[in-house]
Amino acid sequence: MAIIWQQTLHGTRYEVRSAGSSIRLYNNGHLNSQYSARHFFTGNVWDLLILPALLTKTELARVLVLGVGGGTAIHQLDQIYGPAAMLGIELDPVHIRIARRFFDLDLPNLSIHRADAMQWVRNYRGPRFDLIIDDLFLESDGQPCRSIEAGTAWLRQLSRLLSRKGLLVQNHISSAELARSAALQDSRIRSRFKSALRLTLPVYENAVGAFYREQVELATGPKAVRHLLRQRFGLADNRLRFRARRLF
């Protein structure tokens, strides 16, 4: 693995490294993003952010990604779904520069806004989104953690931006944190969705919650999803190893 670019700014050490065919972004030694034009799936948590959309037939015309990083999930979404419009919200200007320079994140259907996600969501007045990915993290005591608690106020704001058949995907640091989220604990928020899944990977603690406005009945196992990828999109990648559990 070779370091091809690095900078320390305001206490954060940014590194862009090459590893085989992949480009990786590290913040203070923690892997933030990974992208390879040769491999669709990374074997990392970002795969779980885009997989839930496979289980719905809702057209993903408009996508909102909160927390761009290097743009791994955006590349995957563009390749598999080709949304008409994608909006990325990213607070860190260094991440935006890195994403454009090293991760080829210069797509004609993508707009990136440098903004505080909470403020941007609160002030947004416009067309709703078919998919919202909430991947907002920061570092606390040297460890990654969610930058916005998945409480009632935040879930209410996000659901306001979802289309009638939209899908909300949230990355959590653990299954326990996901279980405490308002989407599962607040009956008023939970009633806004008809189905929910938890997706995990064998070697990571992260748990991704997928909350659907419509009932999802499709099989959710890795074998079923791999078959769906081959059948609908012509994709086959053995790096895709995940677990899925229906929450409601």
Asked whether the predicted pLDDT for residue 218 surpasses 60, the reply is: no
Asked whether the predicted pLDDT for residue 160 surpasses 80, the reply is: yes
User: Residue 231 — very low, low, confident or very high, per pLDDT cuts 50/70/90?
Assistant: confident
pLDDT at 227: 75
Whether 88 and 65 have beta carbons less than 8 Å apart is answered as yes
d(CA 93, CA 234): 36
Lowest mean pLDDT among 10-14, 51-55, 137-141, 239-243: 239-243
Residue 36: Cβ within 10 Å count: 16
Asked whether the predicted pLDDT for residue 228 surpasses 90, the reply is: no
Distances from the Cα of 241 to the Cα of 97, 122, 199, 223, 226, angstroms = 31, 36, 10, 9, 10
- What does pLDDT average to over the chain? 91
pLDDT digits (tens, 9 = 90+) for 177-217: 999 999 999 999 999 999 999 999 988 999 999 999 998 87
Asked whether the predicted pLDDT for residue 120 surpasses 90, the reply is: yes
DSSP string, 82-136: --SEEEEEES-HHHHHHHHHHS----TTEEEEES-HHHHHHH--S--EEEEEE--
d(CA 39, CA 76): 10
Distances from the Cα of 71 to the Cα of 30, 46, 67, 107, 170, angstroms = 16, 10, 9, 11, 16
Whether 23 and 103 have beta carbons less than 8 Å apart is answered as yes
Question: Mean of the pLDDT values across residues 130-144?
Answer: 90
State the residue for tokens 């669709």: 40
Question: Mean of the pLDDT values across residues 164-181?
Answer: 97
Domain 41-246 has CATH 3.40.50.300: no
Question: CA triplet 232, 82, 99: central angle to 5 degrees?
Answer: 125
d(CA 221, CA 226): 9
Amino acid letter, residue 225: V
Question: Mean of the pLDDT values across residues 228-242?
Answer: 68
pLDDT at 236: 62
User: Residue 38 — very low, low, confident or very high, per pLDDT cuts 50/70/90?
Assistant: confident
Domain boundaries, the chain: 41-246
User: Residue 244 — very low, low, confident or very high, per pLDDT cuts 50/70/90?
Assistant: confident
pLDDT at 237: 59
**Three-state DSSP state, 62:** strand
Range picked from 70-84, 175-189, 217-231 for highest mean pLDDT: 175-189
